Amino acid sequence: MPPAFDDAANEQLVQDAIARAERAAPGDDLEFVKVLRNSYFEAHQRTTRRLRMAAAAPAATGSPMGPRSFHIYEDPRFAKNARELARRSVGRVRIIGGSEVRPGEFDDCVAVGSDAEWGCSGTLIASNVVVTAGHCVDFATRVFFGTDVTGAGRVVRVKKRHRHPRYHKGKHNDLMVLVLAEKVEGVAPRRIAAARLITAATDGRVVGFGHTDPTGSSGYGKKRKVDVPVASPSCSGTVDGHDDSVSYGCDRLLEIVAGRPLLARDTCSGDSGGPFYVDDGNGQWRLGGATSRATDSAVNNCGDGGIYVRLDKYVTWMAGIPGVKLPKA
């Protein structure tokens, strides 16, 4: 979830970029997103040499499955949702610039690691249960509750790992349930969102401890948050004449496709397994998904759109695991 520099300076860049895009494209969502991205990128170029170098570095993450490389910001559904999210961010209702999470906020989001290092994120869904990504199996012997893995916090051992039985190479059924060695007191488990909330979501809030450079190679350890627009809430639509599963490489009906409205504002490596929250309409965040991977058409390691596993589709499997007792929805 790469930051630009400090949160206050970044917030000003965000607001300036939104204002410029609104003036340049009052009635065209796709053009609005284009101007928004370009304005923000140009501001970064003027502000920091480090991001200029990172943005110029090639970092391919996959080959498109369709006849051409289709980027998420060309999707009219994404553009519409991105514009609405940007407008709400002007009123400080939502955040599209990214910021560090304060103590006491999203305490259910944890770092997931091996005995030697931390490398993924996850969410507490019962007092002794964390859900994370299936491809994080090598980083799953302990979890960390706190905001910075180098600072104060609580470490809890993992008693048992349960990767989905139909998991395949981080691209299908990319989930793993961690049964902890002890119950965690003082942290409320996050309730899983109902199917109707996820299907109706136009955006979500992603949280994680992931890397903070666009290439996804450094900066892991601090918990950050950002709001992202949804392109496809269930990988069941079409765009540019192709099914979402072809355009993005998602699993139909099982995954969410979402992305950043601004440069490098997205989940990144290290955010894997972390929460994708959706608003329940009553001021509460419900857990809609778990971070899995970049879309097949992504050009950069981080920042070109992501795929999130819909947890409502896996409740029966999770609830059937020995030692798992999920709170009632």
Which tokens in the block code for residue 280? 């329940």
- What is the pTM for the complete model shown? 0.86
Stretch among 53-57, 101-105, 171-175, 249-253 having the lowest mean pLDDT: 53-57
According to DSSP, the residues that pair with 168 across neighbouring strands are: 172
What is the tens place of the pLDDT at every residue in 280-308?
999 899 999 999 998 887 776 666 788 99
- The answer to the question of residue 19 being in a domain is yes
Whether residues 124 and 243 fall in one domain? no
- The answer to the question of residue 307 being in a domain is yes
pLDDT of residue 55: 29
Q: What is the dihedral of CA 88, 200, 320, 292, to 10 degrees?
A: -60
Which residue range is the domain that position 179 belongs to? 109-190+314-319
CATH number at residue 307: 2.40.10.10
- The answer to the question of residue 258 being in a domain is yes
Whether residues 273 and 198 fall in one domain? yes
Q: What is the mean pLDDT of residues 32-39?
A: 86
- The answer to the question of residue 329 being in a domain is no
* Span between the terminal Cα atoms of the chain, in Å: 29
Cα→Cα distances 36→30, 65, 150, 200, 230, Å: 10, 27, 35, 25, 17
Whether residues 85 and 202 fall in one domain? yes
Taking the C-alpha atoms of residue 80 and residue 48, their distance in angstroms, rounded to an integer, is: 30
- The answer to the question of residue 251 being in a domain is yes
Whether residues 204 and 150 fall in one domain? no
- The answer to the question of residue 176 being in a domain is yes
What is the tens place of the pLDDT at every residue in 244-254?
999 999 999 99
Cα→Cα distances 256→89, 92, 176, 229, 234, Å: 22, 25, 17, 11, 5
Whether residues 233 and 304 fall in one domain? yes
pLDDT of residue 14: 78
Whether residues 53 and 154 fall in one domain? no
Q: What is the sign of the dihedral through the CA atoms of 267, 227, 55 and 100? A: negative
pLDDT of residue 267: 60
Confidence of residue 12 (pLDDT cuts 50, 70, 90): confident
Whether residues 235 and 219 fall in one domain? yes
Taking the C-alpha atoms of residue 135 and residue 294, their distance in angstroms, rounded to an integer, is: 13
The set of residues, in sequence order, having a beta carbon less than 8 Å from that of 212 and lying 6+ positions away, is: 1, 2, 3, 218, 219, 220, 222, 224, 268
- The tally of domains found in the chain comes to 2
How would you class 7 by CB atoms within 10 Å of its CB: exposed for 0-12, middle for 13-18, buried for 19 or more? middle
Q: Where are the beta strands (DSSP E) in the chain?
A: 99-100, 109-113, 118-126, 129-132, 142-145, 154-163, 176-180, 203-208, 224-232, 238-239, 242-243, 255-258, 275-279, 285-294, 306-310
- The answer to the question of residue 132 being in a domain is yes
Whether residues 284 and 170 fall in one domain? no
Whether residues 297 and 200 fall in one domain? yes
Taking the C-alpha atoms of residue 23 and residue 26, their distance in angstroms, rounded to an integer, is: 6
Which spans in the chain are helix H?
7-24, 29-47, 49-56, 76-90, 195-200, 244-248, 315-319
Whether residues 95 and 119 fall in one domain? no
Whether residues 78 and 182 fall in one domain? no
- The answer to the question of residue 325 being in a domain is no
What is the tens place of the pLDDT at every residue in 234-275?
999 999 899 999 999 999 999 999 987 664 445 666 789 999
Whether residues 85 and 209 fall in one domain? yes
